[in-house]
Structure 1
Amino acid sequence: MTQIGSREVPIAPRLTVAVCAGNELVRRGLGSILDDLAIVETGVHCENWEHACRLMSTTPIDILIIAEAGYGSCQLPDGVQTKILVLVDATDLRTALKDAPPWAHGFLARQDLTPTGLDEAFRRVAAGKSQIPARLASELIQRAAAPLPARAARPAKLTSRESETLALLADGLSNKQIARRLSISDHGAKRLVASLLLKLDSPNRTMAVVTAIKSGLIEPSVT
């Protein structure tokens, strides 16, 4: 483990990170931050989604940052293993979630975008953990707490063990950490997580947490 600010984050190998943004200033701004991060071995830029798809299909890209809205309906090319981080405006949550691709592996709050925050996010995603900024998670939970009719119909019925696992996923724990917390085998934790992804119709851990919070499956725990 290594220390970032006051928090410990997993050690990760040096990464190839791409930024997808039509705005040149956005690309240059993020590129300058990437240049200063020791964890980033190579930073590349994509002007649009088509360019990003070609790049991911031909080059090993570890992480792609989608820095603009409008990619919610895009399809990820088959066989691509790139982890996707979406830059969102935490003050406009409705638009952020509407536009977010369903296969996103995590979110970055534009308001909290710093070298330290990016470094920590990259390490978490590289380690297979969920990446949801505290600001965004708090707003998601508060939205879930609102008395909306849509919350009456929950998308899945979870067992007590699955509910425990979901809460740990929301805290960003890995499968091994979940196994230790629940005193079960690593295989058992992996099976529980897989069951949650299936029941919540989510392609990855981050989107499972987002779906659960929006649907009210994770009860409000912040004020």
Structure 2
Amino acid sequence: MTIRVMVADDQELVRSGFAMILDAQPDIEVVAEAADGAEAVEAVREHAPDVALLDIRMPRMDGIEACRAIAAHGGCRTVMLTTFDADEYVFEALHAGASGFLLKDVRRDDLVHAVRVVAAGDSLLAPSVARRLVERYTAGGPARTDPRLDALTGRERETLLLLARGLSNAEIAAELVVSEHTVKTHVGNVLAKLGLRDRIQAVICAYETGLVTPGTPPAGGGAGTAVSPA
């Protein structure tokens, strides 16, 4: 199955470079390019790509607003690309609906890997972004446990904790000594009860609510921290 991709960046050379790298892959086709966020949203509506690569800083409409519009439209997952890794961009992008966040100095192979990971329904964060999540929500020590967690059963809390550590469904199943099907059920219940969109939001929630402490950082390495689909 071919992964359809749209690339948006206001710098033509950067945009063309990413498009060339991706289009050279046998399982990826770049179906559109855009020079700003407004063009990106229109391109997604017209070409229905599976994945949109969005630069954060673009004229007319920035990547975060474009991401929010694309997420509302549905059917296309987004990966944010930027030279900046300041906290406000990371968190705004994730809350806008991004499924991945990479810096522009990402290696060629890691860029391709990120597109495949996100197209498969997973989520991915650059290692530096994952570290920032840990630092932001563990600064000053463990937080008081949030009452939102009261909605979860004990097993669902365990599942959320293991999600925040970066474990896959198979690894969670082994840890809890249950089937992967049961894990998927627990993950779905966690997302539904906490009103979360995906597993990246679940990881953020685990830190926000104080469930995760500095002793349990998410796993990382390679292109980034991949978070498997529910």
Which interval holds the TM-score relative to the shorter structure? Answer: 0.7 to 0.9
**TM-score, normalised by the number of residues in structure 2:** 0.73
For these two proteins, the number of residue pairs brought into alignment is 208
Partner of residue 35 from structure 2, selected from 23, 47, 70: 47
Question: Alpha carbons of 1:94 and 1:21: their partners in 2 closer, same or farther (altered >3 Å)?
Answer: same
- Structure 1 counterpart of 2:168: 173
> 1:18: how far off?
0.9
Equivalent residues of 1:56, 1:80 under 8 A apart: no
- Structure 2 counterpart of 1:191: 185
- Structure 1 counterpart of 2:115: 122
Q: Aligned residues: percent identity?
A: 29
> 1:101: how far off?
4.6
Whichever residue aligns with residue 156 of structure 2, its letter is E
Which ranges of structure 1 fall in alignment gaps of 5 or more residues?
A: 1-12
Which ranges of structure 2 fall in alignment gaps of 5 or more residues?
A: 218-230
Partner of residue 129 from structure 2, selected from 130, 133, 136: 136
Equivalent residues of 1:102, 1:202 under 8 A apart: no
Taking the aligned partners of 1:25 and 1:160, their CA distance within structure 2 comes to 51
Taking the aligned partners of 1:83 and 1:95, their CA distance within structure 2 comes to 18
> 1:146: how far off?
0.6
Taking the aligned partners of 1:155 and 1:103, their CA distance within structure 2 comes to 25
Whichever residue aligns with residue 84 of structure 1, its letter is T
> 1:185: how far off?
4.0
Give the alignment of 1:22-41 within 5 angstroms.
Answer: 22-41=10-29
- Aligned-partner SS, 2:52: strand
Question: Alpha carbons of 1:193 and 1:102: their partners in 2 closer, same or farther (altered >3 Å)?
Answer: farther
- Structure 2 counterpart of 1:92: 86
> 1:90: how far off?
6.3
Question: Alpha carbons of 1:140 and 1:79: their partners in 2 closer, same or farther (altered >3 Å)?
Answer: closer
Taking the aligned partners of 1:19 and 1:95, their CA distance within structure 2 comes to 19
Whichever residue aligns with residue 156 of structure 1, its letter is R
**Relative to total residues, which structure has the larger helix share, 1 or 2?**
2
Equivalent residues of 1:39, 1:119 under 8 A apart: no
> 1:152: how far off?
4.2
> 1:64: how far off?
0.6
- Structure 1 counterpart of 2:44: 56
After superposing the two structures, state which structure 1 stretch, 127-136 or 152-161, moved more: 152-161
Question: Alpha carbons of 1:14 and 1:66: their partners in 2 closer, same or farther (altered >3 Å)?
Answer: same
CA RMSD of aligned residues (A): 3.1
Equivalent residues of 2:54, 2:78 under 8 A apart: yes
> 1:117: how far off?
0.9
Whichever residue aligns with residue 206 of structure 1, its letter is I
Output one character per residue of 1:85-144: Cα deviation in whole Å (capped at 9) or x when no partner.
112456412332234453211222334x11111122223223322212222112211221
- Structure 1 counterpart of 2:211: 217
Question: Alpha carbons of 1:178 and 1:56: their partners in 2 closer, same or farther (altered >3 Å)?
Answer: farther
Does residue 1:156 correspond to 2:148, yes or no? yes
- Aligned-partner SS, 2:178: coil
Question: Alpha carbons of 1:160 and 1:138: their partners in 2 closer, same or farther (altered >3 Å)?
Answer: farther
- Aligned-partner SS, 1:156: helix
Question: Alpha carbons of 1:201 and 1:110: their partners in 2 closer, same or farther (altered >3 Å)?
Answer: farther
Question: Alpha carbons of 1:134 and 1:79: their partners in 2 closer, same or farther (altered >3 Å)?
Answer: same
- Aligned-partner SS, 2:213: coil
Taking the aligned partners of 2:71 and 2:161, their CA distance within structure 1 comes to 31
